Chain A
């Protein structure tokens, strides 16, 4: 069970959070202007590294904040605690 640091509540057990998927570029404002390939690439091709990966977590059983952390997939080390997206 990971120890994740919510930017609002501080360090909490993983059981309070839901995984929010890999962090990817922010959704484009005008997908209509993108080629099919670019859209499909944005939507369906996440990095799958053996090593640090940026991913979102949602403090669903807490304050409700989404935040991004960098986690090493080999060791579970949190290499960047990240911060909340909401201002």
Chain B
């Protein structure tokens, strides 16, 4: 057939001056600007566009929008994208698409053989058959045979995904006649309005209708309304934007598929609206009869849209099959467009005169049904008979359009938890009671005439405005021409003459009427069960044209009303949404950004391997010199601290200033030991518990002055400690006068440590007496270091003499340089977190997450002294007491000297009795090569460990059992003389 053979000579809202070339399944075609892939293929006479999911039957174009159940395509090239309904792909230059589900092509599909065996593949066949030995063995092969398109394997090139928040008084979803009327009324009243519509052009159903408003073409009215809205500052109008989820508290998710900005590929809006007007229209329902899936069988409304909007003829000789009035107009418009309409098959017993006169000149077969179709790759004939059965008549056709009535698009309303009611007048579920602040307008509320939709749009706008406290101005509504009233007699399916026939209720998932009946016979009779057993309604189209027929089939078979059967749950998203559109810019390093100290660049230039040191802080792990192994580096850095001087970047340490008359009392409640008795300028190590008795944090707090403390916390727990403190202050002790200020990033510190530390600091600081007598361990002094105002703390996490020099973060790089410069002659070494770990293990200092793991308490760690006996109460006290009153063996912190001094064991390795394969009696919490002892040492939590010092423990490794001597958990300077020096 020559290109564009099916294009009508006039009409349509396409731009005939712009020809667009595209490829489909490897062949080149052309269409016009304004076409979809579907309309362009129809114009080119392509009717076989897909193979079905399970049986690989030939399929064509069924719908004209998101409801399309028949044909899915994947896009190839730069815009690679999977499983797009063929009807929603806009034609653009260079578009390259191919059908899914068929290999090698829809005309010659090797999998089509499934059809021959289809009587062996009933509903739930795969689940029943491939149970032994394991479904997962078969799954990949079945998925390949059945599967839809594959996910894109490359990143997008067209632009970014973006996220925006929107706020408005009234959100109108849908720019059809009801939505436009409502949006205009709301905008004129001065409300902040958002109008979103999933088409590029506003108009909704008007785009597919040859309709008049105010005596001119309806689209001119649409243009006027849109022009007025676009000129108003209080209106945001989004095109090509689908509202796909209605969440709690009137949050609506909207994804814009073609934003104006070139660099944005898709933009997702989270719109919080005071009132929502749902004007999403209605969706036509398919007819269920034998072989109702052949290419050339199409929704009546789709045929109408192809004729009116795209000016293409989907066939040359049509048969119309309907149970309601709406298809009569389609028949008349097809006829006017030059398509021969052979007959209207109307299943109803009663047809009104208005309908008959609209279809003047077309044969009307009253009380008749299409019992089956004929043809192979395209429908060739409709076979009709009386609804009650009887003799058949064959009517040749290449187009069979069907209308099973209309369903209001209640998806968003139902997602908002609004209830539905079955309306027997229109034989459809309609919105009933709203739960959130939303209103349905137009055909979305079950009003299927144009005048009804417009009046309803105006009325719902008035109600929404009133709820926002605004008056609605009086406005004249556009006048419509007289319309056919909507009447219907339900027909959920045509009885099959051949029991083995295939009457599809879900074309996309290849679910037939027989599958529904099978599910009911096997005990899955509830509508949600039928859905899961048969997969009806689970496709990309979510059963938009077919679900109601499943409900009808259940009702027929069970002898119940549809109201009692109910619907399956309408879930978001309403249409498929790409993960990228949901994620927006939250990808890569932006998901959880790293925190950096002021001298990250220095560390990198010094060759440091950067680690994450808790709470997303980047910190140097170790600074390897050329040719050094990991262990050599760590040994060198550790030795420098033990024998000379080292410095490490302590900037990430959590820091809080705590002020107020009740600050001391507050710390006494937070920590297990007493802080209120501290003298100004002195600090104390504290242990912080939760009220469950679990160790939350440890750290040193200094008293800076009356009612003024500086608390430090471990790096990884600063945020959690902040939450805990605010909770205690605001919830438990709101009457206490305490203010907490986070100063973690205000103060950065360089910790100079090692026997030569004092000698180094003396070179930089002359206004503080640094002697051990004047400035003892656990004291804090304020002065200047290298000319910078500083707070110096004598704390030690390494066991050596240490000065923690805190300066304002903006001066930190300068301080660091001065320290390195002054320390150069002494052989100063920058120290990473690996060496820090070695030094603290040698000392047996606690590390949260290693030794304190949520089960241990202070007594287990040999720190019973820190649990104050004097204080009547502190957070965690009661729970620890209750737990310790139970006479169960406790795991206690011990040291392990591994018998083989060169052997290191994995942190976390279990300790079992005699190394036997049985329940563990403890675990290794840390194991390092000690530079002080020149051998491996470990810390462990071991049942009744302290009583077993001197005995042997056995660590189970993957390949062997490692024996070790149990010792006290401190391998170096147990009396602390060096850190006090």
Residues of A within 8 A of B (CB): 1-3, 13, 18, 20, 26-27, 29-32, 34, 36, 39-40, 43-44, 56, 58, 60, 64-66, 75-76, 78, 84-87
Binds A, one of B123-131, B151-159, B725-733, B916-924: B725-733
Smallest CB–CB gap between A10 and chain B, Å?
A: 12
* Cβ-defined contact, A1 with B248, below 8 A: yes
* Cβ-defined contact, B731 with A66, below 8 A: yes
What are the 3 closest A-B residue pairs judged by CB atoms, nearest first? A3-B249, A31-B878, A66-B730
Smallest CB–CB gap between B213 and chain A, Å?
A: 38
Partner of B730, one of A2, A39, A86: A86
- Place the interface of chain B in its size category: 20 to 34
Evaluate whether A86 and B878 lie within 8 angstroms (CB atoms) in the complex, with A31-B873, A76-B249 already known. Answer: no
Give 14 A-B pairs besides A3-B272, A58-B726 with Cβ atoms closer than 8 angstroms. Answer: A1-B247, A2-B249, A20-B727, A32-B872, A32-B873, A32-B878, A36-B882, A39-B879, A43-B691, A58-B727, A65-B730, A66-B727, A85-B730, A86-B730
Max count, chain A CB within 10 A of own CB: residue among B248, B692, B730, B731: B731
Partner of B251, one of A1, A27, A84: A1
Partner of B873, one of A3, A30, A66, A85: A30
16 contacts across the A-B interface (CB closer than 8 A): A1-B248, A2-B248, A13-B165, A18-B723, A27-B691, A30-B872, A31-B877, A32-B873, A32-B877, A39-B878, A56-B727, A65-B730, A66-B726, A75-B248, A85-B730, A86-B729
* Cβ-defined contact, A13 with B730, below 8 A: no
B726 contacts across to A, CB distance below 8 A: 58, 64, 66
B417 contacts across to A, CB distance below 8 A: 75
A75 contacts across to B, CB distance below 8 A: 248, 417, 435
Q: In the assembly, what is the distance between CA of A82 and CA of B165, in Å?
A: 26
Using an 8 Å CB-CB cutoff, how does the interface string of B834-856 with A read, 1 for contact, 0 for none?
00000000000000000000000
Q: In the assembly, what is the distance between CA of A47 and CA of B53, in Å?
A: 49
Max count, chain B CB within 10 A of own CB: residue among A31, A36, A39: A31
A30 contacts across to B, CB distance below 8 A: 872-873
Asked if B734 is an interface residue, CB under 8 A from chain A, the answer is: yes
Partner of B692, one of A3, A43, A78, A85: A43
* Cβ-defined contact, A13 with B272, below 8 A: yes
A65 contacts across to B, CB distance below 8 A: 730
Q: Which residue of A lies closest to B249 (CB)?
A: A3
Q: In the assembly, what is the distance between CA of A28 and CA of B566, in Å?
A: 51
Evaluate whether A43 and B879 lie within 8 angstroms (CB atoms) in the complex, with A1-B247, A29-B873, A76-B248 already known. Answer: yes
Q: In the assembly, what is the distance between CA of A45 and CA of B558, in Å?
A: 46
Asked if B335 is an interface residue, CB under 8 A from chain A, the answer is: no
A44 contacts across to B, CB distance below 8 A: 692
Using an 8 Å CB-CB cutoff, how does the interface string of B686-705 with A read, 1 for contact, 0 for none?
00000110000000000000
Q: In the assembly, what is the distance between CA of A36 and CA of B734, in Å?
A: 26
Asked if B391 is an interface residue, CB under 8 A from chain A, the answer is: no
Smallest CB–CB gap between B253 and chain A, Å?
A: 10
Q: Which residue of A lies closest to B693 (CB)?
A: A43
Using an 8 Å CB-CB cutoff, how does the interface string of B314-338 with A read, 1 for contact, 0 for none?
0000000000000000000000000
Asked if B270 is an interface residue, CB under 8 A from chain A, the answer is: yes
* Cβ-defined contact, B248 with A85, below 8 A: no
* Cβ-defined contact, B872 with A58, below 8 A: no
Max count, chain A CB within 10 A of own CB: residue among B248, B272, B727, B885: B248
Asked if B735 is an interface residue, CB under 8 A from chain A, the answer is: yes
B730 contacts across to A, CB distance below 8 A: 65-66, 84-86
Q: Which residue of B lies closest to A4 (CB)?
A: B249
Evaluate whether A58 and B272 lie within 8 angstroms (CB atoms) in the complex, with A32-B872, A32-B873 already known. Answer: no
Smallest CB–CB gap between B692 and chain A, Å?
A: 7
A27 contacts across to B, CB distance below 8 A: 691, 732
B885 contacts across to A, CB distance below 8 A: 36
* Cβ-defined contact, B731 with A39, below 8 A: no
Partner of A60, one of B247, B723, B879: B723
Q: Which residue of B lies closest to A37 (CB)?
A: B882
B723 contacts across to A, CB distance below 8 A: 18, 58, 60
* Cβ-defined contact, A85 with B877, below 8 A: no
B272 contacts across to A, CB distance below 8 A: 3, 13
Q: In the assembly, what is the distance between CA of A7 and CA of B941, in Å?
A: 47
* Cβ-defined contact, A39 with B734, below 8 A: no
Q: Tell me the chain B residues, 698-732 only, with Cβ under 8 Å from chain A.
A: 723, 726-727, 729-732
A85 contacts across to B, CB distance below 8 A: 730-731, 734
Smallest CB–CB gap between A76 and chain B, Å?
A: 4
Q: In the assembly, what is the distance between CA of A27 and CA of B873, in Å?
A: 11
Q: In the assembly, what is the distance between CA of A29 and CA of B872, in Å?
A: 10
Q: Which residue of A lies closest to B742 (CB)?
A: A64
* Cβ-defined contact, B270 with A1, below 8 A: yes
B247 contacts across to A, CB distance below 8 A: 1
* Cβ-defined contact, A26 with B731, below 8 A: yes
Using an 8 Å CB-CB cutoff, how does the interface string of B270-284 with A read, 1 for contact, 0 for none?
101000000000000
Smallest CB–CB gap between A68 and chain B, Å?
A: 8
Smallest CB–CB gap between A20 and chain B, Å?
A: 6
Q: In the assembly, what is the distance between CA of A66 and CA of B733, in Å?
A: 12
B692 contacts across to A, CB distance below 8 A: 43-44
Q: In the assembly, what is the distance between CA of A38 and CA of B882, in Å?
A: 12
Q: In the assembly, what is the distance between CA of A19 and CA of B272, in Å?
A: 21
Smallest CB–CB gap between A18 and chain B, Å?
A: 7
B873 contacts across to A, CB distance below 8 A: 29-32
Q: Which residue of B lies closest to A84 (CB)?
A: B730
Q: In the assembly, what is the distance between CA of A84 and CA of B729, in Å?
A: 12
Smallest CB–CB gap between B517 and chain A, Å?
A: 35
A29 contacts across to B, CB distance below 8 A: 873
Partner of B731, one of A20, A32, A60, A87: A20
Partner of B732, one of A26, A43, A60, A78: A26
Q: Which residue of B lies closest to A68 (CB)?
A: B731
A39 contacts across to B, CB distance below 8 A: 878-879, 882
Q: Which residue of A lies closest to B690 (CB)?
A: A43
Q: Which residue of B lies closest to A65 (CB)?
A: B730
Smallest CB–CB gap between B212 and chain A, Å?
A: 43
Q: In the assembly, what is the distance between CA of A61 and CA of B459, in Å?
A: 41
